[in-house]
Amino acid sequence: MCFQLLIWLKHGAGNTRVRFPHEPHFRNICVTVNADSSTKLYITRHISLFPLKHYLLTLMAVAAQVYRHPSLKNSVSLVVVKMLVVEDEDVGPQVSNNGGMALRNFCNWQQLFNPSSQRHLEHYDTAILFTRQDICGQRSCDTLGVADVGTMCDPKRSCSVIEDNGLQAAYTVTHELGHVLSMPHDDSNNCIRWFGHLDGPHMMASVFFSLNKTLPWSPCSARYVTEFFDNGYGDCLLDPPEQTLPLPVDAPGVSYNLDRQCQQAFGEEFSLCPDTPEDQTCSQLWCREEGQPHCTTRNGSLPWADGTLCWAGAGAVAGTNTTCQGGVCAAVTDQQKREVLYPVDGGWGVWGPWGSCSRSCGGGVEFSQRECTDPKPQNGGAYCAGQRAKYQTCHIQACQDEHGKSFRDEQCEKYNSDRYLDIHGNIKQWIPKYNGVSPRDRCKLFCRARDSNEFKVFEAKVVDGTTCGPDTTSICVQGQCVKAGCDQVIGSSVKLDKCGMCGGDGTTCRKITGSMNKAIFGYNDIVTIPAGATNIDIKQKSHRGIRHDGNYLALKTEVSYILNGNFSVSTAEQDIPVLGAVLRYSGSSTTLERVLSYQKLRQAVAVQLLSTAGDASTPRVKYSFFLPRDVPFTKPGAEGRASLHAILPLGGSEWALGEWSECSKSCGSGWSRRNVECRDGAGTLSFSCDEDLRPADIRPCGDLPCPVWQMGPWSACSRTCGVGVRHRSVLCIDYTGKMVELGKCNLAKRPEVVSSECSYQDC
């Protein structure tokens, strides 16, 4: 949950109440509003605290109103849960006119006040800093705000810096928060590619002059924020707000007259220009500095604040019932003023027809949509919650191809062009990359140049219906991995059996096993795995547990080596594409070298052992795979091959491995354990496994340094005159320098809180 906290910052404050579970439908952006010393000095000079707080909350109220507009196509509530005002420049973030550096400094500084646990009272989702410092970008100093794109819910980067230039800063806040929610500018290449050139002054225009109040968000902005939420990047916003700082209800112009608006925009010496053109009433604010003959404004981007009385300008419409609304002087009758505009929450319309299928064969995805139009949200009512689109698989019939390549292979191959050449001028051959890709990114199109470690992310999303990886039947839908069975039905639990048959019972194949424990210098044949084999597992245990013991697995097809050929050994993990499957190689820098694949081979693969140590290092190779019963296979060595290449049956028993336990310690030196049991082909306990090949059942873990106690800054003196007391708090700091919960430090070694006398002046 989000809770309120207001701090006038000299050193800081804390609390420990708990947040509670959320309702999973509406998004609530819990914001901490920060004002640096330049803003505090400018706004509160000769003024009490309340006007600064009211001013900042007024800006946030305008931003919150824009985020409630149905053109965003999402229910987003902007709430303020904490406010920090920096009195002393030395304890605040370092802010210069370098926008990028100011953002980095503020992002680092705000982490000190954001507890890591989302259940903590003072945790917030994003931080905003207001400053009077003139912010400069890479090209000019016309920049009004800076933020990183798509960083919401990242506590280290979910922040923005806003140049406080008056009430118009409310729209800068709205714009920069849009970036934090992943929205690009409306004239970006992606927006133009999807929607063409967007008409109308929307919120994410690259240059802001005015805002279309009836449609503040462009279709491109709505699409980006929807995908951001649908892909799980905004899940930290699912908390319901509680005890937030209340935002002003009145329009800004009700509280701030035109003279105040001029002072906020240009300086305290400015007031409304008496010669304001009549045709620019409400649309353009002209101000004049005291003692100067000429008036000034900002070209096309400084309308009067909503709620400003129109007659305040020279020659404007008379009457107290005329106020500015969206840059236009609008008459409001007494009856309209008495009417209460109740919010109307939106409701879903009927489901639309199914769209086109993403694939013509092999299993694609089609969508049906519904709109929040029955009724449309009005007067700040909530946007519809729940499922806006549903999908199902389509065209699941197998593709009639003979090349044995996956659909992801085909997507990578589209980039085989003269745009990408190697050092010899040859076109690079792109193949899918699986190894080293985060599970969260497996529905992005990662492609690797064949015979190279170079890789690129060509697309943020693979085509809908692409499998999430070589070892699963789940498929990608809109960039997310969705459960699907081998029958290509979303949500299905039908699995491939060990024979590679969808929904089979495992009776159509047989298990082939073998081993090798002698070798001569060079390449030694182990076994040729026929086409049709599935669930391949090849292991080579290093001699005496020594890495690089001189024995290495090698693979070749009829054409050439595909692993560790020509006496060249790969130390890194890699994926090896073959027809119909991907062979996953552990790399040679491990004590257990291994090749795994669960898919059905569509070409034969020869397994060899490269021995560079000869008799000095005994190889210990084991392999197993499943082969259809109608595919003939003769074990190597059955017809009297030399003992150097003999294949010995295993008897069907193997080491079965459990999952690693959680580390015994979250930091420092701990241990993790797993069960290692010898089981036969039927799954029962056995005692015939090779003890020399028994995998480890314990490993070290938790090698990060533990958090340590550190003395915090001194508090303010308890008295403003005479002798008082000040305290120095004790903080728990992790290895990155970030403040964490006290319980993560060793409570037995917690230092005592330090106190001392203090005196500012005599009474």
Q: Report yes or no: 409 and 432 within 8 Å, Cβ to Cβ.
A: yes
Q: Are residues 43 and 184 located together in one domain of the fold?
A: yes
Q: Residue 232: left (phi > 0), alpha (psi -120 to 50), or beta? A: left
Give a yes or no: residue 513 inside a domain: yes
Which of 254-258, 326-330, 556-560 is predicted least confidently?
Answer: 326-330
Q: Among 573, 597, 628, identify where a domain stops.
A: 628
pLDDT at 529: 94
Q: What are phi and psi of 593, to 5 degrees?
A: -80, 135
Please identify which of the residues 176, 366, 593, 654 carries the catalytic annotation. Answer: 176
Q: Residue 692: left (phi > 0), alpha (psi -120 to 50), or beta? A: alpha
Q: Report yes or no: 144 and 137 within 8 Å, Cβ to Cβ.
A: no
CA 182/CA 152 separation, integer angstroms: 8
Q: Are strands 126-131 and 159-163 parallel, antiparallel or unpaired?
A: parallel
pLDDT at 735: 64
Three-class SS of residue 574? strand
For 521, which DSSP code? Answer: S
Q: Are residues 167 and 220 located together in one domain of the fold?
A: yes
Give a yes or no: residue 559 inside a domain: yes
Which residue type sits at 341? L
Q: Among 602, 628, 654, identify where a domain stops.
A: 628
CA 31/CA 541 separation, integer angstroms: 55
Cβ neighbors of 504 (< 8 A, separation 6 or more) are 496, 497
**Catalytic residue flag (residue 339):** no
**What's the pLDDT tens digit per position in 50-95?**
588 888 999 999 999 999 999 999 989 999 988 888 887 778 888 8
Residue 97 has pLDDT above 90, yes or no: no
Q: Are residues 206 and 259 located together in one domain of the fold?
A: no
Q: Are residues 278 and 198 located together in one domain of the fold?
A: no
Q: Are residues 58 and 178 located together in one domain of the fold?
A: yes
Q: Give the domain CATH number at 713.
A: 2.20.100
Give the pair of three-digit tokens for residue 137.
Answer: 């970008």
Residue 650 has pLDDT above 60, yes or no: no
Give the position of tokens 């209460």. 340
Higher-scoring residue by pLDDT: 516, 141: 516
Q: Are residues 714 and 619 located together in one domain of the fold?
A: no
Q: Which domain holds residue 176?
A: 27-231
Is residue 752 exposed (0-12), middle (13-18) or buried (19+ Cβ within 10 Å)? exposed
Residues annotated within the binding site for Ca(2+) are 125, 236, 239
291-295, 353-357, 376-380 — most confident range: 353-357
Residue 750 has pLDDT above 60, yes or no: yes
**What's the pLDDT tens digit per position in 298-352?**
766 688 888 888 864 444 444 457 888 888 888 776 656 555 567 888 899 999 9
Which residue type sits at 731? L
Give the position of tokens 């933020």. 147
Q: Are residues 174 and 308 located together in one domain of the fold?
A: no
Residues annotated within the binding site for Zn(2+) are 175, 179, 185
Averaged pLDDT score across all residues of the chain: 82
Give a yes or no: residue 686 inside a domain: no
Give the position of tokens 């919650």. 385
Give the pair of three-digit tokens for residue 234.
Answer: 């905004």
Give a yes or no: residue 685 inside a domain: no
For 553, which DSSP code? Answer: E
Q: Cβ atoms within 10 A of the Cβ of 342, count?
A: 9
Give a yes or no: residue 126 inside a domain: yes
Residue 514 banded pLDDT, cuts 50, 70, 90:
very high
Q: Are residues 329 and 218 located together in one domain of the fold?
A: no
**What's the pLDDT tens digit per position in 445-489?**
999 998 788 889 999 899 999 999 988 899 999 888 999 999 888
Give a yes or no: residue 134 inside a domain: yes
Which of 311, 343, 314 has the alpha carbon at shortest distance from 330?
Answer: 311
CA 40/CA 33 separation, integer angstroms: 12
Q: Are residues 278 and 221 located together in one domain of the fold?
A: no
**What's the pLDDT tens digit per position in 130-151?**
998 888 766 667 788 899 999 9
Residue 737 banded pLDDT, cuts 50, 70, 90:
low
Give a yes or no: residue 169 inside a domain: yes
CA 11/CA 718 separation, integer angstroms: 13
pLDDT at 335: 59
Q: Are strands 509-516 and 621-628 parallel, antiparallel or unpaired?
A: antiparallel
Three-class SS of residue 725? strand
Q: Report yes or no: 505 and 499 within 8 Å, Cβ to Cβ.
A: no
Q: Which helix (H) or strand (E) holds 101?
A: helix 99-110
Give the pair of three-digit tokens for residue 353.
Answer: 């027809």
**What's the pLDDT tens digit per position in 221-253?**
999 998 888 877 888 888 777 778 889 888 888
Q: Are residues 589 and 736 located together in one domain of the fold?
A: no
Higher-scoring residue by pLDDT: 597, 616: 597
Three-class SS of residue 679? strand
CA 610/CA 520 separation, integer angstroms: 9
Q: Which helix (H) or strand (E) holds 406?
A: none
Q: Report yes or no: 284 and 305 within 8 Å, Cβ to Cβ.
A: no
CA 244/CA 5 separation, integer angstroms: 8
For 245, which DSSP code? Answer: B
Higher-scoring residue by pLDDT: 334, 700: 700
Q: Are strands 509-516 and 322-325 parallel, antiparallel or unpaired?
A: unpaired
Q: Please tell me the total count of domains within the chain.
A: 4
Q: How far is CA 532 from CA 504, 581, 633, 639, in A?
A: 15, 10, 11, 24
Q: Are residues 200 and 57 located together in one domain of the fold?
A: yes
Which of 316-325, 415-424, 582-591 is predicted least confidently?
Answer: 316-325
How is the chain split among helix, strand and coil, in percent rounded to 5? 20, 30, 55
Q: Among 607, 628, 649, identify where a domain stops.
A: 628
Q: How far apart are the first and last CA of the chain?
A: 44
Share of the chain above pLDDT 70, in %: 85
Query: pTM (2 decimals)?
Result: 0.65
Q: Are residues 130 and 276 located together in one domain of the fold?
A: no
Give a yes or no: residue 368 inside a domain: no
Is residue 531 exposed (0-12), middle (13-18) or buried (19+ Cβ within 10 Å)? middle
